[in-house]
Every structure is written in structure tokens, then in C-alpha cells.
Chain A
Amino acid sequence: DAGVIQSPRHEVTEMGQEVTLRCKPISGHDYLFWYRQTMMRGLELLIYFNNNVPIDDSGMPEDRFSAKMPNASFSTLKIQPSEPRDSAVYFCASSDRVNTEAFFGQGTRLTVV
């Protein structure tokens, strides 16, 4: 398995634009997590899914953020409209309930100018 795959690796966008981050979890994993990492706040959990269903989205900062998981092999995190303070590295991770180890993708570095 190639691991958790995220795209794009880097995204630079202008304030007010819509940004969509993509994630392909490891096949067979039924938990998917979206994290945001900044120097100031460390790793913050935004939302997580179990069997494609959102379980806890209390970490989503604002209504500008939304996440979907239409099937077991794909998830998106959308920011609309984007703001400079959204600049961060966004990680997707997946885990197998039995194993519990979370496998992280390489991350998407988002810069909003």
C-alpha cells in the first residue's frame, strides 16, 4: 500500500478563493482524520470520520471549513472563502480500529496570500 496520499502537496491561493484538499486513506482503514498543524497551536484535530460518517467536527474552526467523505477511499477538506490565517500544513491520517495506529499523509502546505 502506498500509504495515505494527499494532494496537492503545496497550495498557494489568494484570500477569498476556495481551496480543496484531497486525501486517499489506506485501503481497509475505517477511520479518517483531518489535522491542521501550525507553529502556534501544534497539531489540531479538525474532524474525523468512521466508516465515511463524520463523528466529531467540533475542531472545525468556522463554517468556512467543510469536509466530506463520499466513499471509503476519498475525502476532501474545503475552505471557502480562504483567509491568510488558514495558512498551515493540513494532514490527513487514517487508522484501523483494531490497530489504532494512525498513519499520516505527507501533508498539504497551504499558503493564503
Chain B
Amino acid sequence: QQQVKQSPQSLIVQKGGISIINCAYENTAFDYFPWYQQFPGKGPALLIAIRPDVSEKKEGRFTISFNKSAKQFSLHIMDSQPGDSATYFCAASITGNQFYFGTGTSLTVIP
């Protein structure tokens, strides 16, 4: 059973546009929700993370929106750039335990 469901599978955005990736989870015990960015040939790297006590976290052009009641969270990339082209994974975990990853979203930003 997929603990974290991610959509869309792929996304194409024009340079300067907003990229939005969505994730949903079932386990209300999850208390840590990171987003990872992976470039070809590299391992995933933490991009931004949020805990359920806040509804939004912003770091530069990247924002996580968190809806605890709907059990959903999303990544927004503002002013998307070609360098943002990568695969993005959402994840969820209970602190100190295993991470459950979404299936990934391949983002392509067209110049």
C-alpha cells in the first residue's frame, strides 16, 4: 500500500511559471514531511521540509503548503527556472523512523 501518493508523474512548465506538485498521506502519525530533489546521476537531496504544526513554509522560491485536515501537502516552485528541472519526491515519516517516499514527479522547465 502506497503510504504517500504523489501527482503528477510529470510536469512541464515554462520558465518563470509556477510548478505545483501534490502529495497525500493516510497515516496521521506522520510528523515530518520533506521534499527531495534529484538530478540525473545523483542521489536525492533535501530541498525543504515541514512539520504539521505550521501550514506553510517558504524558502526562497520554494514553498510547502500543508493541509492537516485534508492530509495533503504540496510543493510550489515560483519563477521556475531551467535549473529546477529534476525529479521531485515528497516523503513522510514519523521522527526517527523510516521515510515513505512518493513515486516522484519529473519536472521540466522550458526556457
Binding site for B on A (CB under 8 A): 4, 31, 33, 42-43, 45, 48, 50, 55-56, 91, 93, 97, 100-107
Chain A residues lying within 8 Å of B42, measured Cβ to Cβ, are 106-107
Binding site for A on B (CB under 8 A): 32, 34, 36, 41-46, 49, 89, 93, 95-96, 98-104
A-B contact pairs, 6 of them (CB 8 A): A42-B104, A45-B98, A55-B98, A97-B96, A100-B32, A101-B34
Chain A residues lying within 8 Å of B100, measured Cβ to Cβ, are 45
Closest to A92 in B: B43
Contact B43 A100 (CB under 8 A): no
Contact B96 A107 (CB under 8 A): no
Give min CB distance, A95 to chain B, whole Å. Answer: 8
Contact A31 B43 (CB under 8 A): no
Contact A45 B99 (CB under 8 A): yes
Closest to A43 in B: B101
- Complex-state Cα separation, A41 to B45, whole angstroms: 19
Chain B residues lying within 8 Å of A91, measured Cβ to Cβ, are 43-44
Closest to A30 in B: B96
Q: Which of these, B41, B43, B99, B101, contacts A42 with CB under 8 Å?
A: B101
Contact A105 B43 (CB under 8 A): yes
Could you say which of B41, B43, B95 has the most chain A C-beta atoms within 10 Å of its C-beta? B43
Chain B residues lying within 8 Å of A56, measured Cβ to Cβ, are 98
- Complex-state Cα separation, A93 to B98, whole angstroms: 11
Contact A102 B96 (CB under 8 A): no
Chain B residues lying within 8 Å of A100, measured Cβ to Cβ, are 32, 93, 95-96
